[in-house]
Amino acid sequence: MSEPAATAAATAAHAPAGEFNVGEHIMHHILDANYIEVPFTSIHIPLPHIVIAGYDFSITRNVVMMWIASAILLTLFISAARRAKEPVPKGMRNALEAMVVYVRDEIARKTIDPHYADRYVGYLLTAFFFILACNLLGMVPGMSTPTSSISVTATLALFTFVISQAGGIRNYGVFGHYKNLVPHGLPTAIIPVILVVEVISMLARPFALAIRLFANMTAGHVVIVSLISLIFVLKSVFVAGMSVPFALFVYALEILVAFLQAFIFTMLSSLFIGLAVHPSH
């Protein structure tokens, strides 16, 4: 069991017998676990616990969810690619093609220099569709949202950081890329101060990417579970008349948030890459 899950379990163990523990119930739904729950049952399917040379490589619920998201995307895009020769796209191929063109034309080519934009479209499309699939997967009963884990969002943000730095170094060389952090024509006396500020800003970008996606995807699930928990906390079926409709409203809003957060992450990633490969100063 992971440390956060163990902490949640310990909290539940200290709760009075038979008393509904809201905190434990919420943490149970948003934390990673070493098992898969079968929807609408009490059946838990354990996942392999793997330790190699003292390092934990266990397969957790979020890992399985990311595998499922990847499998769904591969299936959809392979199916769409097989119908690429059709003169008029329709169905799923039409929807996927519309999103691909939007990411390429409205995000990549408008935030990255047109000469370099197409180099990074592949990564931006991968990030967009993977995040979107992971976000929507958490809306399915029995599934979880990998993007509500800070380790997942931090890894995605790290990819953006590495690609942006690699792009800048590719265009200007190591010295030239980091020299571009400081605007030209500044008085020598303030260059060290500006350099420190720019370095902090550069390092803060992936941090902001990770926290933004993690916080937004976690918040919606916390609100939904909290609203449903009111029924059991207050022990009244009359509360369900208000909490259930509100929970359904937030659930519908979460579908919009799933698309919005995938778009925001992709847009900001494209913007950060554009700042690195084509600095404005």
Residues 146-168 have pLDDT tens digits of: 999 999 999 999 999 999 999 98
- State the pLDDT at residue 2: 40
On the question of pLDDT at 69 being above 90, the answer is yes
The enclosing H or E element of 52 equals strand 51-52
CA atoms of 136 and 255, how far apart (whole Å) = 7
68 vs 38: CA distance, rounded Å: 15
State the pLDDT at residue 20.
67
Say if residue 21's pLDDT is above 70.
yes
| Residue whose entry in the numeric block shows the structure tokens 């009075």 | 16
Could you report the per-residue pLDDT of 72-93, keeping only the tens digit for each?
999 999 998 888 787 877 888 8
Count of other CB atoms within 10 angstroms of residue 226: 16
Range with the largest mean pLDDT of 46-60, 73-87, 93-107, 236-250: 93-107
The yes-or-no verdict on residue 186 having pLDDT over 80 is no
Reply yes or no on whether the pLDDT at 235 is more than 90. no
Q: What is the pLDDT of residue 184?
A: 76
* pLDDT, mean of residues 111-118: 87
pLDDT (mean) for 260-275 = 94
The average pLDDT across 250-255 equals 90
pLDDT confidence of residue 18: 54
Q: Phi-psi region for residue 173, left (φ > 0), alpha (ψ -120 to 50) or beta?
A: left
Q: How confident is the model at residue 178, as a pLDDT? A: 81
- At 39, is the pLDDT very low, low, confident or very high (cuts 50, 70, 90)? confident
Q: Return the pLDDT at 3.
A: 39
Amino acid at 238: F
Residue 14 has pLDDT above 60, yes or no: no
Q: Domain residue spans in the chain?
A: 66-277
Report yes or no on whether pTM surpasses 0.75. Answer: yes
Separation in Å, CA 82 to CA 93, 130, 172: 10, 21, 40
pLDDT at res. 15: 45
Percentage of the chain lying above the pLDDT 70 cut:
91
Average pLDDT, rounded, for the chain:
84
CA distance 129 to 11: 36
pLDDT confidence of residue 35: 84
Mean pLDDT (whole number) for 164-181:
87
pLDDT band at 51 (very low <50, low <70, confident <90, very high): confident
